Structure 1
């Protein structure tokens, strides 16, 4: 809640992220095998295309496609509908597993054990989850945009070191 404290106090310095002094990141190996990619928001335009592209990449062993299910449609149905809607035919479905989860929920709505196991296995994280409602106030978007992104960052700090790429302000940000 640093953003609220910073806004309340008028001190933007409180928004600077700080790692715990004892944090020691695990080094990334140079190995291209055993790469597990997670695409958050795989049923959106960018997420669906990225999921398909990663499934075709020989350096990626498997892709977890995070999609939030709803009472009307399962996560699998929503992903399938995205492939049809965006005319994506290049997805290697045998390399894709749909993960029914939500970045706005603690542990993404998964049980803690599953969440921790994912943190120990995932190497690449692509955050494509967002909203197309750009006329909302900060108070209206804090849960879906800010808090969910903080949870993605927290996931990336757990388990194996991960590469994180994401969409910020409509632009896909990729590491060099």
Structure 2
């Protein structure tokens, strides 16, 4: 079974602003191939292949898979780095995020890369995966936004097609891809030519992956896409996540420093990683998984203002003050290193503008509408989203030291250390 993304149709889709330009060809009818392959009965325990399991969200998937009675075995593909083995990298990530991985005897760590032919594995191991795996969970891929689309295309778009082929070879497998609500920013052709943080090569890749997955699914390929928002720390990590590495926390920090946020009917998309993991796995392990899901627990700007003691103002007023307070200033220039210091100062000012583009309210409204569509997966009840956000913020020193924070447990106000 061969699946091909036709002659750069993804680039044409981005250029024209139309996902209908995506074109895929098949060596055989995927519906007939899927129907002819052996598959495990619905009531039997499943074997799962996890990609990207050593990332922050991937570690949550791994923990929950190992602890799930519906899962018989978990293969995890980890790229070795330097002298560190795959097992050592997993153990280091578990310590970093304070996640205890249950020793259930299910885990098999494989060293390789999904970007390589046969996943970088020897032929016997690759054949074993083809014959044993029932579910492929793809949480792999870059998390930075700084590269052009061409790089993300190599690292995520084309590998998604290869994984779809893998799932229709030797044994029927379902493919579950972690996408992003960031792809919902594209609604008009001009959006594909905007230059802010939200309209970058990373977001374009997520747009293509979403619509490519939907196209493959319509053609009979067993692929499922999860439009995940910002994934924050949950109880399993004592509400710790990568912190200021996230654009999300940079945005919150600027609101906190300014003492303001804006009035909005749209919400801010986020979810605790443990909630995200349960939502994805419950769907993946169900007898009839949804094709597209939006596992989002939103926070309103009013909740944010109340919890952090911020003033609610209009978007126009908020952004005007933000841009004014973060403009390029000559006192940031070091006359011993004028070129490099000027570049840094300009980059900082431009980054703030890019994080809060003029169209941000429209972006959030588009995401809000998508995440409340009928395809949204019901989430397991847990802590209110604002409590999750607040608890994480207390663990980020750069944020916590800026203002007094109201503790949700007592309602008392304490000065953040």
Question: What TM bracket, shorter-length normalisation?
Answer: 0.7 to 0.9
Does residue 32 (structure 1) correspond to residue 41 (structure 2)? The answer is: no
TM, length-normalised to structure 1: 0.85
SS across alignment from 1:48: helix
Aligned counterpart in structure 2 of residue 96 of structure 1, from 99, 107, 118: 107
- Counterpart residue number, 2:5: 2
Does residue 135 (structure 1) correspond to residue 142 (structure 2)? The answer is: no
Aligned counterpart in structure 1 of residue 29 of structure 2, from 18, 21, 24: 21
Does residue 124 (structure 1) correspond to residue 135 (structure 2)? The answer is: yes
Q: In the aligned structure 2, how far is the partner of 1:21 from the partner of 1:73?
A: 43
- Greater helix content: 2
Q: In the aligned structure 2, how far is the partner of 1:74 from the partner of 1:123?
A: 26
- Counterpart residue number, 2:75: 64
Q: How much does 1:116 deviate?
A: 2.0
- Contact 1:48–1:83 (8 Å) recurs in 2: yes
Give the RMSD, CA atoms, in angstroms.
Answer: 2.5
TM, length-normalised to structure 2: 0.39
Q: In the aligned structure 1, how far is the partner of 2:24 from the partner of 2:105?
A: 39
**Change in 2 beyond 3 A, CA 1:42/1:93:** farther
- Contact 1:5–1:14 (8 Å) recurs in 2: no
Aligned counterpart in structure 2 of residue 48 of structure 1, from 59, 64, 80: 59
- Contact 1:3–1:14 (8 Å) recurs in 2: no
Q: In the aligned structure 2, how far is the partner of 1:90 from the partner of 1:146?
A: 30
CA displacement, residues 132-176 of structure 1 (integer Å, 9 cap, x when unaligned): 122311112222112222222221111211122121126276434
Structure number with the bigger relative contact order (C-alpha 8 A, sep ≥ 6) is: 1
Aligned residues: 175
Q: How much does 1:14 deviate?
A: 5.7
> Which segments of 5 or more consecutive residues in structure 2 lack a partner in the other structure?
181-226, 229-275, 284-288, 291-417
Does residue 149 (structure 1) correspond to residue 160 (structure 2)? The answer is: yes
Q: In the aligned structure 2, how far is the partner of 1:79 from the partner of 1:37?
A: 17
Range moving further from structure 2, 138-147 or 9-18: 9-18
